[in-house]
Structure 1
């Protein structure tokens, strides 16, 4: 098989288009014949063709590595298979070629004048080869420290204590307490409660009533369990039923506590939002937003803007701003044109981040009805959007990319590609040093956000044509049957990450 330079140009142009680098793609477009190829062959090239092509090159290098000089295949052991499957990457493939065919070092009249690397290039090239195993490009495999039964949802407590809540088979709520012991996680206690026997939670006939949302209060003393039938059950950390809030008539999609623990904002699939008093269980405000021409969900998230204001999805992609005690919105944010997929308020800069099915992210400043930033680049649904600091946000998408955006420069500043595998969820650690993503193939990747922010600061936060690559801290793949990742949850100290799968047991991994 061979490939011409024009064909390679077209693959690179397609990659730039898919990655949201329009300026780079335009520059390449002006100097090549890529538009002719697009017109003739574009429909035959799927998304991610260049990445797929490179992967096939890696597989060729893999096969070459496994065959001895005499043509016999290297004997494979279980240890070899684990190391081989986890650690082989593009960097290692290039390293193999570099060892076979070392680079020709520019010396003498071919060396750049004043280049300090030229004088000791051979020495540094030789010395760097044995250090490859310690290079940060080698991704480490994260260690699984605990496993619990299949759960509809699992969430770490917001307390400093290691308490993991999960809802298991037959609506069994389990509260497990752990402790650190010699680099391992030991379960010290487990409290069990049968939600199915609680009036209003139990079902008749063959109706199902699963838990759709688990959300701890900021102080970690109460746990809200949103149900499929619309009920909201409040449970204490010491395993006691506190209240059952009944008003929703359909499955609850989102539950958010106010920062002072006094109110809960809940939202269901019929676009009904309710404000609850957590002490009395009283519904203080009810908002029913319906579009007579459509039955679709307006959004899947809600958010508090302090202790007395909140936002909920509105019609046609709008965001409605309400105050406690007011039945009419005090503001309406227009810009998005489709279902809202995420909302997050930054308490430090007082700005709201939103994401939508219209494939954009927007930043809203306090006191303004117009977005101050609008980020384009994702080609499929945005599945997560969060603030990294007061100036940068991170997003994930079904298009298999993780992107970091700068509000100051209104541009993308960092990017990670995951071979086109859809990313279903993402979660930033409480200390904001790491970001985890869960993919459709069941793999979890953790990125080193603190290192990325250091690199951006070293670069003076400048926006170059090529975004920085997001450093990877490590990854994890469950050894059980394939299933996709539902949710991710960090403990309050950012040491452990729970991974909720669609069909298999919940894994807890160490991220230190």
Structure 2
């Protein structure tokens, strides 16, 4: 007696029926194989019972034809949804309905798994914040005492004067004393969102500030020149951009990404449901771009403003022609969710993913023009330097890497953080910028509560900014490159002197800060908070 599993038996009979054209009976099949009995799922079955499979042969063939024509997956994978009893007792139509229902259930399970796994990524890492917070009182006390002992040393260092660009400073310095807190008259608190505010961005042309929230709306705020003069009479006006129909918000339409075009006339917003929406600066809906199957985790306009690049949790990036609303090209090069995208120029861009890979793609090319591998964990952020000659990346593998299009291997592997690095930012300085006499610097923000400044030419740590007490989500350089703003899960925003490596101003709100950004003139800073508010601070030294 031979023993087969039901899957093995199904496969043997099915393939036999296909190849024989049903010219033989199941009995002949058994005689040729020397089998008189078999075991199906542990039960002995006379070989004569296999004649049932012969009678079902046409249904097998019809079933396979249906799957081949109507499914975009492997046929053998579709057959795996069925049990041997199903194949014997049900006709082809019933089998096809079963496959469709089971596949639908499986997809729902995958979506649920995706939503759970990447919830922290898409809403400003809210879940991962909890995991990496350091609220050990004893450690904080020890650090404060240590900082007090270094305070005089730091003052002596900064008083000596530093010229000719940023010089390395003591990387262990924590400058949290004798700093100026931003006072209430210098702050406008923008209220109206009903959920956490994930992203914010100033328009490059004027006094407009955009914010995107988990409440399914984006808002465009008009901020006056003089924050100090704000009052109930001239409180900032606001345009509410709804990403839902009807009176109530819809689940899954959280606004996770937004970006202004170069002249500030159009705002693009990306939602959790995979839709990208284009708005005018006065709040008019221009276009809805629908192709992605999962969340928009990053989007960017090219400098020319004719193309919009979107990166999604569905593993693809799409370049859109905004005038026509048509996709120019969809890039399917990653095997994991895209976490970030960034343009190198008007036609080439970089993408990073949970698959640990970085690709540089070009419109019109089906394959990447450069592949960067070297990270050992998810790559959270990619940024080109101001001239597009170098690409920086940061990862959960606790490293920052610098890449050049001239070689596959990284130019620098920067290691000094103790935990995952969430974001990076280049200074608007160096050759080819508006600040050519200042050194090009890269800032990195980590869940280890520090911000680090790196000298890119030498590939070395210049300064460690240790003023925060929790994970740092966002960093942004001022337009002149002299200051750096950082926003943290400790509810505080610090403004640092890049040259001296110390805090010059600070502001504390009522929730974790997900993003900070400067206006074009460099005299205002915006921060968006988990407590559903956006704050705009006057910054004048």
**Which category describes the TM-score, using the shorter chain as reference length?**
0.5 to 0.7
Find out whether 1:493 has 2:535 as its counterpart: no
Match of 2:502 in 1: 471
Q: What's the offset of the Cα at 1:157?
A: 3.1
Find out whether 1:141 has 2:229 as its counterpart: no
Structure 1 residues 419 and 370 mapped into 2: Cα distance closer, same or farther (>3 Å)? Answer: same
Find out whether 1:90 has 2:151 as its counterpart: no
Tell me if the contact between 1:276 and 1:282 (Cα under 8 Å) persists in the aligned partners: yes
Deviations 1:50-78 (A, max 9, x none): 963535749xxxxxxxxxxxxxxxxxxxx
Match of 1:122 in 2: none
2 CA distance for matches of 1:335 and 1:154?
29
Q: Any idea what SS the aligned residue of 1:90 has?
A: helix
312, 315, 334: which one pairs with 1:268? Answer: 312
Q: What's the offset of the Cα at 1:416?
A: 1.5
1 CA distance for matches of 2:277 and 2:145?
53
Deviations 1:179-206 (A, max 9, x none): 22384455454334433239xxx999x7
Structure 1 residues 155 and 197 mapped into 2: Cα distance closer, same or farther (>3 Å)? Answer: same
**Structure 2-normalised TM-score?**
0.62
1 CA distance for matches of 2:179 and 2:149?
10
Aligned residue-pair number: 368
Match of 2:111 in 1: none
1 CA distance for matches of 2:135 and 2:252?
39
Tell me if the contact between 1:383 and 1:426 (Cα under 8 Å) persists in the aligned partners: no
Find out whether 1:181 has 2:181 as its counterpart: no
Match of 2:359 in 1: 320
Structure 1 residues 182 and 329 mapped into 2: Cα distance closer, same or farther (>3 Å)? Answer: closer
1 CA distance for matches of 2:479 and 2:275?
29
1 CA distance for matches of 2:355 and 2:363?
24
140, 149, 152: which one pairs with 1:52? Answer: 140
1 CA distance for matches of 2:360 and 2:334?
17
Match of 2:537 in 1: 509
Structure 1 residues 154 and 353 mapped into 2: Cα distance closer, same or farther (>3 Å)? Answer: closer
Structure 1 residues 507 and 352 mapped into 2: Cα distance closer, same or farther (>3 Å)? Answer: same
239, 248, 260: which one pairs with 2:292? Answer: 248
Match of 1:233 in 2: 277
List runs of 5+ in structure 1 lacking aligned partners: 1-45, 59-88, 96-134, 453-469
Structure 1 residues 333 and 93 mapped into 2: Cα distance closer, same or farther (>3 Å)? Answer: closer
Match of 2:350 in 1: 311
Structure 1 residues 191 and 313 mapped into 2: Cα distance closer, same or farther (>3 Å)? Answer: closer
Q: What's the offset of the Cα at 1:170?
A: 5.3
Structure 1 residues 477 and 275 mapped into 2: Cα distance closer, same or farther (>3 Å)? Answer: same
Match of 1:418 in 2: 467
CA RMSD, aligned part only?
3.1
Q: What's the offset of the Cα at 1:414?
A: 0.8
Tell me if the contact between 1:426 and 1:436 (Cα under 8 Å) persists in the aligned partners: yes
Tell me if the contact between 2:340 and 2:353 (Cα under 8 Å) persists in the aligned partners: no
Q: What's the offset of the Cα at 1:499?
A: 1.5
Q: What's the offset of the Cα at 1:245?
A: 0.3
Q: Any idea what SS the aligned residue of 1:326 has?
A: coil
Match of 1:435 in 2: 484
Find out whether 1:371 has 2:410 as its counterpart: yes
Tell me if the contact between 1:402 and 1:416 (Cα under 8 Å) persists in the aligned partners: yes
Q: What's the offset of the Cα at 1:285?
A: 1.1
Deviations 1:310-342 (A, max 9, x none): 111267422111111111111111222221111
Deviations 1:72-96 (A, max 9, x none): xxxxxxxxxxxxxxxxx8379989x
185, 189, 209: which one pairs with 1:164? Answer: 209
2 CA distance for matches of 1:176 and 1:319?
35
Deviations 1:437-491 (A, max 9, x none): 1111211111112x33xxxxxxxxxxxxxxxxx111211112x4xx211222221
Tell me if the contact between 1:176 and 1:187 (Cα under 8 Å) persists in the aligned partners: no
439, 448, 453: which one pairs with 2:497? Answer: 448
2 CA distance for matches of 1:323 and 1:232?
21
More off after superposition, 408-417 vs 393-402: 408-417
Structure 1 residues 56 and 343 mapped into 2: Cα distance closer, same or farther (>3 Å)? Answer: closer
2 CA distance for matches of 1:92 and 1:375?
26
More off after superposition, 233-242 vs 488-497: 488-497
Larger Rg: 2
Match of 1:20 in 2: none
2 CA distance for matches of 1:382 and 1:228?
23
Deviations 1:228-257 (A, max 9, x none): 110100000022111100001111100011
**Structure 1-normalised TM-score?**
0.65
1 CA distance for matches of 2:308 and 2:455?
32
Match of 1:302 in 2: 341
Tell me if the contact between 2:203 and 2:209 (Cα under 8 Å) persists in the aligned partners: no
Structure 1 residues 178 and 53 mapped into 2: Cα distance closer, same or farther (>3 Å)? Answer: closer
Structure 1 residues 442 and 314 mapped into 2: Cα distance closer, same or farther (>3 Å)? Answer: closer
Q: Any idea what SS the aligned residue of 1:52 has?
A: helix
Q: What's the offset of the Cα at 1:370?
A: 2.0
